[in-house]
């Protein structure tokens, strides 16, 4: 998930932590770059609370995550809700396809520990000014509505739109030319892993941590992009990503980063 907010780089804050959207300035030591990796909660803090729920977002906030990643899908009546899968089977007490259910039906479900499935509006409200958000667009046709909700709610924090679907990121770019975009790459990288990033003028790249190499990381950094890695839960893998110099680590356990 990508790098500089656009072309200008700002100095590190006085705390020494990297600002969201910034790579390390030229000349900064490797040790400082490692120390300032961004801490990103996956689906809230899915290792501590039911994924993509308000409880998971509150938990990530309590760990002082820099960003929280959530997954978005549309209900049959056009509302954006936080669900990863195309069905509700794995994460709720019922079964069925998300796209065939209304918001009222979705919000009657138990998403675990008596949590219900929240809307994007509710998630942004809980995040507030305390934490930035990464909105992963799971299906075609929801990018414009996601942009409209972000604008309508006046979300004040840093925000990145992410997707494996390049056409959906193109829609976001058309709707909001200043949007921060993250191109998500599958475990099997494309022949040219930088082509879509350049074509979309994306600011971030999301890589599965198993695909990261020093050469690939340097290629993205040379383009001024930030690289976020997913989903890194084991302490030894987290340390290896720090040592490589990635910009952000996405984890079910943001408290381990």
Q: Which is more confidently placed, 21 or 121?
A: 121
Q: CATH number for the domain including 52?
A: 3.20.20.190
Is the confidence at residue 33, as pLDDT, over 80? no
What is the chain's length?
A: 257
Q: Cα angle vertex 116, ends 111, 118, to 5°?
A: 115
> What pLDDT, in 10s, does the model give residues 186-223?
999 999 999 999 999 999 999 999 999 999 999 999 99
The verdict on residue 228 lying in a domain is yes
pLDDT (0 to 100) of residue 13: 33
What DSSP line would sit under 189-202, residue for residue? --SSTTHHHHHHT-
> What pLDDT, in 10s, does the model give residues 146-156?
999 999 999 99
The verdict on residue 78 lying in a domain is yes
Note down the domain range covering 238: 30-256
The verdict on residue 16 lying in a domain is no
Reported pTM: 0.89
pLDDT (0 to 100) of residue 27: 40
Q: Which two tokens stand for residue 121?
A: 């509006």
The verdict on residue 222 lying in a domain is yes
How far is the C-alpha of 12 from the C-alpha of 35, rounded, in Å? 12
pLDDT (0 to 100) of residue 88: 98
Q: Which is more confidently placed, 7 or 18?
A: 18
The verdict on residue 175 lying in a domain is yes
The verdict on residue 196 lying in a domain is yes
pLDDT (0 to 100) of residue 35: 58
The verdict on residue 105 lying in a domain is yes
User: What average pLDDT does this structure show over 129-135?
Assistant: 97
The verdict on residue 1 lying in a domain is no
Total count of domains within the chain: 1
Q: How confident is the model at residue 28 (pLDDT cuts 50, 70, 90)?
A: very low
How far is the C-alpha of 193 from the C-alpha of 123, rounded, in Å? 32
């Amino acid at each position: 998930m990508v790098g500089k907010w656009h072309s200008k780089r700002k100095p590190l804050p006085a705390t020494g932590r990297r600002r969201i959207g910034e790579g390390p300035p030229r000349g900064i030591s490797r040790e400082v770059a490692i120390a300032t990796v961004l801490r990103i909660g996956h689906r809230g803090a899915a290792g501590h609370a039911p994924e993509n729920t308000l409880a998971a977002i509150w938990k990530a906030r309590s760990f002082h995550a820099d960003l929280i990643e959530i997954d978005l899908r549309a209900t049959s009546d056009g509302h954006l809700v936080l669900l990863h899968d195309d069905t509700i089977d794995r994460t709720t007490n019922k079964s069925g396809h998300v796209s065939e259910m209304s918001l009222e039906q979705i919000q009657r479900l138990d998403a675990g520990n008596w949590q219900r499935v929240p809307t994007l509006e509710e998630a942004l409200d809980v995040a507030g000014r305390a934490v930035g958000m990464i909105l992963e667009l799971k299906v075609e046709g929801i990018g414009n509505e996601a942009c409209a909700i972000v604008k309508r709610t006046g979300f004040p924090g840093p925000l990145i739109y992410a997707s494996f679907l390049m056409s959906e990121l193109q829609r976001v770019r058309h709707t909001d030319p200043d949007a921060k975009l993250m191109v998500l790459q599958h475990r099997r990288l494309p022949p040219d892993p930088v082509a879509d990033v350049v074509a979309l003028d994306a600011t971030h790249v999301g890589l599965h941590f198993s695909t990261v190499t020093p050469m690939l990381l340097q290629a993205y950094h040379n383009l001024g992009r930030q690289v976020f890695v997913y989903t890194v839960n084991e302490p030894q893998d987290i340390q290896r990503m720090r040592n490589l110099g990635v910009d952000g680590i996405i984890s079910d356990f943001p408290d381990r980063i």
